Amino acid sequence: MQLLQEIVIGAVTAGVLYVLLMKRVRTARAWRATVTPLASIIGSGFLVLGPILSDSYGKYAPLVMLLLCAAAYAFGTAVRFNIRNIDAHPDRSPLEERLEYFSSWSLAFAYCISVAYYLNLFGAFGVKLTPFNSPVAAKSLTSAMLVLILAVGWLHGFRAMERMEQAAVSLKLAIIAGLLVGLTFYFAQQSAAGNLVVAAPPKTGWTGITLAFGLIITIQGFETSRYLGEEYSAAMRIRSMHYAQWTTTVIYFAYVLLLTFLFHPDAVALSETSIVDMMKLVSTLLPMLLVVAALSAQFSAAIADTSGAGGLVAEQSDGRLSSRMGYLILVLIGLGLTWFAHIFEIITYASKAFALYYALQCAIASAGALKEARKPHLAVLFAVFGMLAVAVLAFGRPVEGGS
């Protein structure tokens, strides 16, 4: 049975990768537009989120996952409104222009923290299956990658590395398909043996709510569709965001559902690489595949956000600060966070930074609904979404995990 499971996992992974790399798929315009937000959302925390939710919320983890996706969809609704509204009414009011200015700066700052988050995950997974697995080795690898990104961005820019994005996304989705198949096999076995786990939630009430607020970063990334205006129409960008959010909601929910009822919260010590230890109990193939997925996902996401941050810094400063200077600021922030903060703290800092961005996007949408669309009910709805983002900013707190 174990051999059959390994064969099926390998075959599904290879089959999905083959399909995604087919020319008619990878050249399809809708798929190309969807790749960027899809890469960002799944790259933001797929591998760490399952163990965190299972450990913190027990049997209610799948419900919390749905609520996180619903919150992301709410913020996405505001961003999609802004895409549509700007396309229809390019002349913005002074209030909208001012909010957009602050929004762009907040996004640049959020990118600085998110790159530190991505590359700390890269470092942790990079040493996980080696004899050098330790916090210091992980932080050293993260620091080396930050310096490498600075050198490449400073000397050559990121065009060559950005071309890796579609291949990295295809590989990551193929491995996720293999992961879900492996978990389904293991779920069936454990169910037949009567060994499914139904754990009480360790985190409840206000503690559970504030912890969920600190995890918003893990479903962030859909907003990247807004900034593809030079390549795609407003309608295509809106569709790409829908596709990306629907796809990731299905993937995340299935993943968390299977994981929650397979492993007791105390089975594996909670860390950023807990999923690898969990998968050792499921398959001999999956741990290695997950490390490959993590490395490709986090590196490509870090490149995308570094490029975005540098471009925003140059644009918002009217050229007074160059993209190179933006890269340098980002790397200095990343090095500081790497050596003086735990990965779970960085996740919360990134969540708060993106919450500020989403709050400002909701404010822009609310102002636009009043000014252009003449739809006061939408303005109120976006204001409510904005208050949710402010609550995340104010009350989100980090997960308590190992070193």
The whole-number pLDDT of residue 403 equals: 43
CB 394 within 8 A of CB 378: no
Q: Compute CA distances 158 → 56, 163, 283, 300, whole Å.
A: 38, 9, 36, 11
Which pLDDT score is estimated for 395?
A: 93
- Residue identified by tokens 């139904």 is 198
Report helix, strand or coil for 13: helix
Q: Which one-letter DSSP state was computed for residue 217?
A: G
d(CA 193, CA 215): 34
* 250/41 Cα distance (integer angstroms): 13
How many degrees, rounded to 5, is the angle at CA 44 between CA 185 and CA 49?
45
Q: Which of 169, 133, 127, 166 is nearest to 145 (CA)?
A: 127
Q: Which of 47, 76, 64 lies closest to 389 in space, CA to CA?
A: 76
Spell out the alpha helix ranges (H) of 261-375: 274-280, 286-316, 323-340, 343-368
| CA separation for the pair 200, 181 (Å, rounded) | 26
Query: What's the whole-model pTM score?
Result: 0.90
Q: Give the pLDDT of residue 88.
A: 85
| Lookup: tokens for 19 | 């399909």
Residue 133 phi, psi dihedral angles, 5° rounding: -70, 105
The interaxial angle of helices 94-128 and 323-340, nearest 10 deg, is 50
DSSP 227: G
pLDDT in tens, the chain (403 residues): 678 888 999 999 999 999 998 989 888 888 888 888 888 888 767 888 999 999 899 999 999 999 999 999 999 999 999 999 888 888 888 888 999 999 999 999 999 999 999 899 999 999 998 998 999 999 999 999 999 888 888 877 666 555 566 777 888 889 999 999 999 999 999 999 998 989 888 887 888 899 999 898 888 888 888 887 778 899 999 999 999 999 999 999 999 999 999 988 777 888 888 888 889 888 889 999 989 888 887 887 788 788 888 888 888 888 888 888 988 999 999 999 999 999 889 989 999 999 999 999 999 999 988 886 567 889 999 999 999 999 999 999 888 755 4
Joined together, the tokens standing for residue 357 give: 């961005």
Q: What 8-state DSSP symbol labels residue 263?
A: S
Q: Which of 352, 353, 381 is nearest to 368 (CA)?
A: 381
Q: Of 170, 219, 167, 212, which is closest to residue 43 (Cα–Cα)?
A: 219
Question: Which uninterrupted H or E stretch holds 138?
Answer: helix 135-155
- Domain parsing of the chain, residue ranges: 2-303+332-395
What architecture is the 2-303+332-395 domain classified under in CATH?
A: Up-down Bundle (1.20)
